[in-house]
Amino acid sequence: MNTLFRPLETFVGIPHGLPGPGCRAAILGVPYDCGIHPTRIGARDGPASVRRQSARLLRRFHVSQGDFDPMARLGAVDCGDVALVPGRPDLSFPAIEAAAGVILDGGAVPVAIGGDGSVSLPLMRAAAARHPGLVALHIDAHTDAYEEGEDDVPWNPATQFTHAATEGLVDVGRSWHVGIRGFTYIGGVKARAERLGFRVVTTEDLFRRGFAQTMSEFRDGAAGRPVYLCWDMDIFDPSVAPGVCTPSWGGLTAREGIELMRSLTGLNIVAMDFNTVSPPQDVQDMAAHLCGHMMLEAMLLLCRQMGLAGD
């Protein structure tokens, strides 16, 4: 055993490399943020922080969820980070789309770590190019379907789903924003997303109807279509995930977030991302640690989806 060199820091210690035979899922770091948030910049360091905190998650066998190692069952690898330039979407978005395309063409589900929410757009472009009829399930405190930016800055972390709709990347009539809550800078945000064709489920709606019933209705609407899962860490309350780009009080507890993730069984998830972990604001690395846990929960979900759980 070589004791002179420490291995590269990968998510929960999985092998570093590109998808090969037997690989069904691949981690992709997307160290990008637009750099335009008025008070919180730093999500570009999210992938490194999540990987670092994943060292605390090396216990991969879940005592009540099948007692198996999902990373091994999936043959998962960590591809590393996309080579990009934060703050330059013109340079970075094509690189992100191309990197996700390599994973998809290799037969694996890309599991991306952002980065601010804008990274979902190039990732959805890659998924939509290979999976016609793509449906988006956006778990977030915000719709991110605001008016498009100025001509010189057309992309920002509040418009990725506007672009997804106008570019025809997703079937908006079957795509949902789930967990929307709190105060906004401008009025009419929910109505605008609905005019684009999205279904908007507020946090109040989610708790009133229940996770299982809500996701059962989404599953019926998706009807076996390929699904892009976008999980913004600000779905959680700042008390459990303080280090996010745009915190909003009244979010989910850790227990509730795990329950919501487990309610997504039966979907055909073809790509996903976990975004907005912002290390400069992350007290005790809580958001990064929780993000790593949610990624492992998503890996269990993929195992069930692919018939690898053995239940």
DSSP summary character for residue 15: P
Distance, in Å, from the CA atom of 57 to the CA atom of 191, rounded to the nearest integer, reads 40
pLDDT value at 266 more than 60: yes
Give 18: exposed, middle or buried? Use CB within 10 Å, 0-12, 13-18, 19+.
middle
pLDDT of residue 155: 78
How many C-beta atoms surround the C-beta of residue 132 within 10 A?
Answer: 9
The reply to whether 85 falls in a domain is yes
The answer to whether residue 6 is domain-embedded is no
Query: Does the pLDDT at position 150 exceed 90?
Result: no
Flag whether pLDDT at 161 surpasses 60.
yes
Domain assignment of residue 114, yes or no: yes
What is the rounded CA–CA span in Å between residue 124 and residue 134? 9
Q: How far is CA 176 from CA 115, 147, 194, in A?
A: 21, 18, 10
Q: pLDDT value at position 8?
A: 80
25-48: pLDDT as tens digits: 999 999 999 987 777 889 999 999
Q: Is residue 3 one of the residues assigned to a domain?
A: no
Q: Is the pLDDT of residue 182 over 90?
A: yes
pLDDT at 64 over 90: no
Inside any domain, residue 310? no
| Mean pLDDT, residues 196-217 taken together | 97
The answer to whether residue 4 sits within a structural domain is: no
Cβ pair 283, 243 in contact under 8 A: yes
151 has pLDDT over 60 = no
Q: Which has the minimum average pLDDT: 70-74, 196-200, 307-311?
A: 307-311
Q: Which helix (H) or strand (E) holds 292?
A: helix 286-305
Domain that holds residue 291: 11-149+159-305
Per DSSP, 16 falls in state B
Predicted pLDDT at 311: 59
Between CA 242 and CA 252 the distance in angstroms is 12
Q: What's the total number of domains in the chain? A: 1
How far, in Å, CA of 90 to CA of 112, rounded?
19
Q: Which residues pair with 138 in a beta bridge?
A: 177, 230
**In a domain? residue 120:** yes
On whether residue 23 sits in a domain, the answer given is: yes
Answer with the residue of higher pLDDT: 6 or 207: 207
pLDDT digits 0-9 by tens, 275-305: 999 999 999 999 999 999 999 999 999 999 9
State the pLDDT at residue 5: 78
> The domain that contains 245 carries what CATH number?
3.40.800.10
Computed over every residue of the chain, the mean pLDDT equals 94
Q: Above 60 in pLDDT, residue 254? A: yes
pLDDT greater than 60 at residue 152: no
